[in-house]
Amino acid sequence: MFSWILALLLALIVWTLCAAWFWLVKRRRKETRLGLNALAGMHWRDFSEIVRRAMREQRGLQDVPGEVDDSREPRSDFLMHDDQHRWLLSCKHGRAYRIGTAAVNELGAAARLAGARGGILITEGMVERDGRVAAEKQGVEVLDGHLLWPLLQPYLPGDMEARVNNAARREAIRRISIAALGSLTLGLLVGMGYLTSRLDRQATAMPTAATSAPAPAPAAP
């Protein structure tokens, strides 16, 4: 009985660890990946609008007066300002971007030419390591991948955000269910293995005890 209690406890511990990993870590990674895909699938103007809205509400930036978008030709770079400085925002819209030194240096130079304090590089893709080093030198803030999703998530259309969250939850629940079956199987194997080992030891001990028992004394004549 004690062996089965230990096996059940082991299965419960393994399942708890797996469930925590799948829900707290893997679910968030899945949500980020699906969310970035959803952002990348948006029309450029919609993406640009939620970027501007996030910058206004979370960073306190405002559109520069006179900085009006041409309705016929979308712009990937636009100026915003706070109380003291201007900032040049550059949107690289798409998951395929792998941004290196050249693009970052170009943004830094464009920001200086525009009289901006620095640049903010925004992309659903990824900025490479050399690009990040260049960004530090150029005064460019990088908002890519896993940094961008938490910033823009509150501004997604409600149905799109719900689809992303529900898909990530379903995947996590599926993996947690599989982990439960695996943990139960592990517990059964451990319990049966312990029980079998115990029976083998008992079977080995019985002949040894019989052999070591003293022989009866011979009867008197």
- Beta-carbon-side half-sphere exposure of residue 220 (alpha carbons within 13 Å): 0
User: In CATH, what number is assigned to the domain containing residue 134?
Assistant: 3.40.1350.10
> What does the pLDDT average to over 130-159?
93
39: in domain:
yes
Asked if 8 contacts 162 with a C-beta cutoff of 8 angstroms, the reply is: no
Provide the pLDDT for residue 1.
59
Answer yes or no: is pLDDT of 25 > 90: yes
79 strand-pairing partners: 88
196: in domain:
no
Domain of 147, in residue numbers: 19-65+73-172
**How far, in Å, are 5, 22, 29, 191 from residue 25 at the CA level?**
30, 6, 6, 30
Asked if 60 contacts 89 with a C-beta cutoff of 8 angstroms, the reply is: no
Q: What are phi and psi of 82, to 5 degrees?
A: -110, -155
> What does the pLDDT average to over 164-177?
94
Q: Tokens 């028992």 appear where?
A: 213
Provide the pLDDT for residue 188.
81
> What does the pLDDT average to over 198-217?
57
Answer yes or no: is pLDDT of 199 > 60: no
Answer yes or no: is pLDDT of 106 > 80: yes
Number of domains, the chain: 1
What's the pLDDT tens digit per position in 75-98?
A: 788 999 998 899 999 999 999 999
207: in domain:
no
What's the pLDDT tens digit per position in 33-75?
A: 999 999 999 998 899 999 999 999 999 999 888 765 554 555 7
